[in-house]
A and B are shown apart, each in its own frame.
Chain A
Amino acid sequence: MPPTHTAQSEGPSGYREAVELEFAEATKRYPGADSPAVDGLSLTVPAGEICVFVGPSGCGKTTAMRMVNRMIDISSGDILVGGRSVKDRDVDELRREIGYVIQQIGLFPHRTIADNIATVPRLLGWDRPKINARVEELLDLIGLPQDMSKRYPAQLSGGQRQRVGVARALAADPPLMLMDEPFGAIDPINRERLQNEFLRLQAEIRKTIVFVTHDIDEAIKMGDRIAILQVGGKLAQYATPSEILLHPANEFVEDFVGADRALKRLALLRVSDIELGPSNGGPSIRDTALVRDALSDLLQHGALHGNVVDSGGRTVGGISMEALARLAKA
């Protein structure tokens, strides 16, 4: 039976269908500034994909993102959500349909976790049982125990609070999410965990997401597509991570992705994703490992060959330095 996508559908099996997001020559000029903060940005984010805005500080990532839910007015050009110009929409109504997560999280300190999550459903006038059910469901989704719903933000760790921020943004099942450096304030270990959790979540909910970061590694990891912005709000390149790593559009992008882009490219693949040769012995490498980690393993052992094994420890093939070098160059 095909899943039914209605505006009110909920539950893991029936999320509201994601929408396409299109920037059409969107430009922002702050009053008094000589040059625009975002300059003629044009790109399309297909429904259900994560588009990462990345670039150096002050390049206009936040500005570009906040024009979508009109927290910032568009100076010229347009932004279309699901084919409709955001300018034609009632601003509060528009915002209630767009999930919004910021680095500082901005949980309401005087409201419990449950009440924080329920903010938009309440604005939309959902009835109590439906709200309660939704809160329960979201707590499960973000992996927080139910008994935390009665706590206040001050009683949560930074990572937990960030997850509640995500849950709050997801509450009314918005077809589009805006996330401004959502994991920026979290320590590296927890950030990695939250990133993985979030990717798992996204595989399930399939929202259209604009994700802002200034960390290229996070961009490569999280993005289906990456928009690299240059200071002055100009789009330097908009492409998939591997495309950007393989063919940086210009020197700026090349610099920005770093000298180790060959290694970064290897980090996009798992051993099982690549063509394996016959095994020639060497250290054992799990087939689920990232190719970059496999390379690291080989270097560590000073070996030219690795023996790829599956979860049962059975050899499924071999990997060689030579093959890796070819892969990195491709």
Chain B
Amino acid sequence: MILAQLQIRGEDDAGDSCVADNGFCPSWIADNWERYQDPFLEHLALTLISVAIGFVIAFGLALVAHRRRWLIPPITQITGILYTLPSVALFFLLLPLTGRGKTTAVIALVAYTLLIIFRNVITGLEGVPAEARDAGRGMGLTPRQLLWRVELPLALPAIMAGLRIAVTTTVGLTALVFLAGAGGLGEEIFNDMQFRSNVVVAGGLCVLLAVVLDLLVLAAQKLITPWTRKVAT
């Protein structure tokens, strides 16, 4: 092992044969539950902040590009490069600019979400049926009203789909921000990668968080796009 790892199996666990055998130990998990609480909240906060910032930027870019179509290829290209850049590499590439810590982590995570959200907003807006747009214009809506009352509502399913992908992916990536010194559940995993109980709990919490956030976004989508709900026939 290259980095000295902090063994989280404490002195007082020495007598526990389950822990000693590196088993999957429900009793250890029950005793050490609070250990994961702060990293979990940290993980959650980093995810939400990053997705929120990413959404605001990407959504804004998409609205601008929706008016000036020629902007779509260059924005796609640039956000595409940010998306392709491995986050881990980005953590260190940012070192000279923002140092180690949460700022660096958030910048890298935001960089990753931009393309996902931008592409989905654009796809959603492009998918608006021409008839709906025509009808809106025919009723005398200004371009601005058309955007907010017709196009964006109809694009919502695609936008929310992008948000779901962004959220789940970001939860996964946030597990790496410990490399930038920003904590999160990944740090707990890293602290004792050989201890099964630890890996299962910390990893499981990540997956759980992703699933719950995904379902929340999905629920929000159903709530704000009632017309997409299937009607029983």
Touching in the complex, A and B, CB below 8 A? no
